[in-house]
């Protein structure tokens, strides 16, 4: 999203998207799930949370004021280990790729065989010469310009290729002539278990934009709590299965919610005043932690978006990092404000790229 998911993608019967068929769903796997290639039975919950906090701050460094995929054609992709993963298949015959599902970037991208500089990955490299549906795209073509490239280099190719997603609601869905990046000189802080990115942002090269009218510009996901390591979340393309400008990035790839330091300081003080518990030191990056063997009473936190208020539960605002410590899941960062995935758990988060809206519906994601 394990072997079971790859088995789904290996089915020989494929379906194409029906533009009027109501969409499809895919399995979305948290990187710490037992279904994830990153899963380690030797890590404690505290280890996982501490590592996730570190990744949250590492990830901030990859966002830039301009599009994160500005130099995508040159394969200069900077990414951390990713919080949620998708198993996809590229080419004909299909070649399995473990990809990071990323609402914070646009390009669909993988390392390709014969690259002059590769980061280490456990899986074999994608070999375009073995695929009958791989077509390199000229740098002068509109599709190449759509990923921000202004000149040709030897660092990578933009190509047209068949991408296949394993649907949880039916047969695998084949997406022919999908524009992808094929990296030949690659850098970044990738981990060995992943070998690609599925960009879900708003740019022309993202998967959502390429699906276009077939999903009416809509997609959604429902993130399970981190405690449910044996189950998978779902990402829906098409109907949101539910009902302009901004100053915060809604990001599936960042764990914490990060706010400007002045604003965070006020929020932290307001929350602390309403909690009757002893403050303790937490992991670096989590500045509001309490000693708590049992659950403690915490205040409600409501996030005020334009035209919508999202009321968070303790599941979203506090996380247990050990048997004796819980911590506030918000922290400070002056580079970018980011609405992380802990704040999104047990909400159906729907995106309508045509109307430029995001919706949050409280949902038990284990039943969705």
Residues listed for the chain: 368
Q: Give DSSP secondary structure letters for 114-164.
A: T-SB----SSPPB-GGG-TT-EEPPTTSHHHHTTT--S--SSEEEEEEEEE
Cα angle 84, 86, 92 (rounded to 5 degrees) comes to 160
Which value, to the nearest 10 degrees, does the dihedral of the CA atoms of residues 226, 227, 229, 235 take? -40
Separation between Cα atoms, residue 343 and residue 330, nearest integer Å = 9
Percent of residues in the chain assigned helix, strand, coil, to nearest 5:
15, 30, 50
Supply the Cα-derived Rg of the chain in whole angstroms. 20
Helical (H) or strand (E) element with 4: helix 3-9
Catalytic residue set: 102, 251
CA atoms within 13 Å, Cβ hemisphere of 58? 16
Separation between Cα atoms, residue 349 and residue 324, nearest integer Å = 32
Other CB atoms within a 10 A radius of the CB of residue 225 amount to 17
Structure tokens at 242: 């539910």
Instruction: Verify cis geometry, omega within 30 degrees of 0, for the bond prior to 93.
Output: yes
Helical (H) or strand (E) element with 143: helix 142-145
Cα angle 283, 319, 310 (rounded to 5 degrees) comes to 125
Q: What does residue 55 show for φ and ψ, rounded to 5 degrees?
A: -65, -35
Structure tokens at 323: 């048997």
Separation between Cα atoms, residue 148 and residue 35, nearest integer Å = 34
Structure tokens at 177: 């002539």
Structure tokens at 37: 């290639």
**Which residues contact residue 81 at a Cβ distance below 8 angstroms, ignoring those fewer than 6 apart?**
31, 38, 55, 100, 189, 190, 191, 194
């Amino acid at each position: 999203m394990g072997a079971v998911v790859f088995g789904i993608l290996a089915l020989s019967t494929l379906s194409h998207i029906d533009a009027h068929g109501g969409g499809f769903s895919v399995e979305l796997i948290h990187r710490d799930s037992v279904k994830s290639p990153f899963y380690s039975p030797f890590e404690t919950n505290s280890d996982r949370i501490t590592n996730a906090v570190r990744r949250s701050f590492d990830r901030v460094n990859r966002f830039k004021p301009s599009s994160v995929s500005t130099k995508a054609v040159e394969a200069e992709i900077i990414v951390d280990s990713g919080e949620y993963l998708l198993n996809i298949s590229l080419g004909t015959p299909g070649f399995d790729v473990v990809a990071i599902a990323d609402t914070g970037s646009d390009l669909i991208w993988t390392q390709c065989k014969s690259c002059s500089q590769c980061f280490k990955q456990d899986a074999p490299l994608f070999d375009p010469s073995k695929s009958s549906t791989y077509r390199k795209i000229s740098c002068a073509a509109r599709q190449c310009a759509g990923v921000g490239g202004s000149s040709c280099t030897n660092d990578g190719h933009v190509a047209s290729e068949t991408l296949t997603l394993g649907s949880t609601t039916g047969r695998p869905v084949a997406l022919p002539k999908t524009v992808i990046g094929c990296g030949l000189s690659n850098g970044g802080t990738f981990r060995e278990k992943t070998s690609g990115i599925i960009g879900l942002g708003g740019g022309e090269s993202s998967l959502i934009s390429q699906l276009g009218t077939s999903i009416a510009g809509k997609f959604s996901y429902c993130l399970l709590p981190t405690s449910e390591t044996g189950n998978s979340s779902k990402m829906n393309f098409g109907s949101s299965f539910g009902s302009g400008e901004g100053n915060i990035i809604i990001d599936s790839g960042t764990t914490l919610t990060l706010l400007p330091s002045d604003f965070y300081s006020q929020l932290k003080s307001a929350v602390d005043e309403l909690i009757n518990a002893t403050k303790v030191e937490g992991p670096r990056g989590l500045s509001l932690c309490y000693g708590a063997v049992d659950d403690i009473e915490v205040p409600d936190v409501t996030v005020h978006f334009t035209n919508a208020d999202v009321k968070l539960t303790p599941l979203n605002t506090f996380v247990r990092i050990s048997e004796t410590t819980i911590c506030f899941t918000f922290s400070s960062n002056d580079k970018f404000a980011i609405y992380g995935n802990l704040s999104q758990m047990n909400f159906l988060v729907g995106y309508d790229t045509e109307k430029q809206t995001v919706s949050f519906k409280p949902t038990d994601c284990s039943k969705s």
